[in-house]
Amino acid sequence: MNDRTGLTLSGVTVRLGDGDTMVTALDEVDLTVAPGELVAVVGPSGAGKSTLLAVSGALTVPDQGTATVDGHDLAGMTVRQRAAYRRDHIGFVFQSGNLIPALTALEQLRLVAELSPHRAGGRNPAELLADVGMTHRAGRRPHQLSGGERQRVGIARALMGRPKLLLVDEPTAALDRARSHEVVQLLARETKEAGVATVMVTHDHDVLEHCDRVTEMIDGRLSAG
């Protein structure tokens, strides 16, 4: 595996809070995800899964260790550079989609292009929406979509900027079994097609069959699941 690509976490430690209330959210975590690979992170609540996403997604800087995406050390960036890096190279899929209420499905994707000052290199919103099977709902706003449809739009939105890394936070939390399988299958397919390194945090053991690798996080430590 070429270590200039995908996600590499090595020796990442994150402590939250201070003094008596300080907890070690991540404890010397090592994780490598190659392009085109879908890795699931499972574990109980409070185990540090969200912090893992935050560090990988340049939202939190680790206290120790390094986090690199596509060979770029995230810790060495300013707040502004990290925001730009997220925008240009990292895709997020949030719980229940977390779409913008005022925008239609198609506009959710167009917004990604709007956020970028140099609007080249992104994917075509209409084509991408067709890719996730949402063309017939392109003009609907989030409150007019079902949970599964929202997640499809959320996945498409995350892929708009051709990210190197896709971070997925509990995508099936609000979905029934059948929809959960559909959404994770879609994630697995897009991971392969787009050649993106994908980390999915989940509680849902049903959907792990679609993942290339499963790791388990307990008390801030990561182990092969």
Q: Which residues bind another protein (CB under 8 A)?
A: 50, 53-54, 57, 59-60, 80, 83-88, 90, 92, 94-95, 98, 100-103, 107, 110-112, 114-115, 141, 157, 169-170, 173
CB of 24 to another protein, least distance (A): 17
- The smaller minimum CB distance to another protein, of residues 33 and 53, is found at 53
Compute the C-alpha angle 120/69/163, nearest 5°. 30
- The smaller minimum CB distance to another protein, of residues 131 and 170, is found at 170
- The smaller minimum CB distance to another protein, of residues 34 and 174, is found at 174
Q: What is the dihedral of CA 85, 89, 90, 93, to 10 degrees?
A: 130
- The smaller minimum CB distance to another protein, of residues 17 and 224, is found at 17
CB of 143 to another protein, least distance (A): 10
CB of 92 to another protein, least distance (A): 5
CB of 119 to another protein, least distance (A): 11
- The smaller minimum CB distance to another protein, of residues 20 and 114, is found at 114
DSSP string, the chain: --TTSSEEEEEEEEEES-GGG-EEEEEEEEEEE-TT-EEEEE--TTSSHHHHHHHHTTSS--SEEEEEETTEEGGGS-HHHHHHHHHHHEEEEBTTB---TTS-HHHHHHHHHHH-SS--SPPPHHHHHHHTT-GGGTT--GGGS-HHHHHHHHHHHHHTT--SEEEEE-TTTT--HHHHHHHHHHHHHHHHHHT-EEEEE-S-GGGGGG-SEEEEEETTEEEE-
Helix pair angle (147-159, 105-115), 10° resolution: 20
- The smaller minimum CB distance to another protein, of residues 149 and 170, is found at 170
CB of 1 to another protein, least distance (A): 27
CB of 100 to another protein, least distance (A): 5
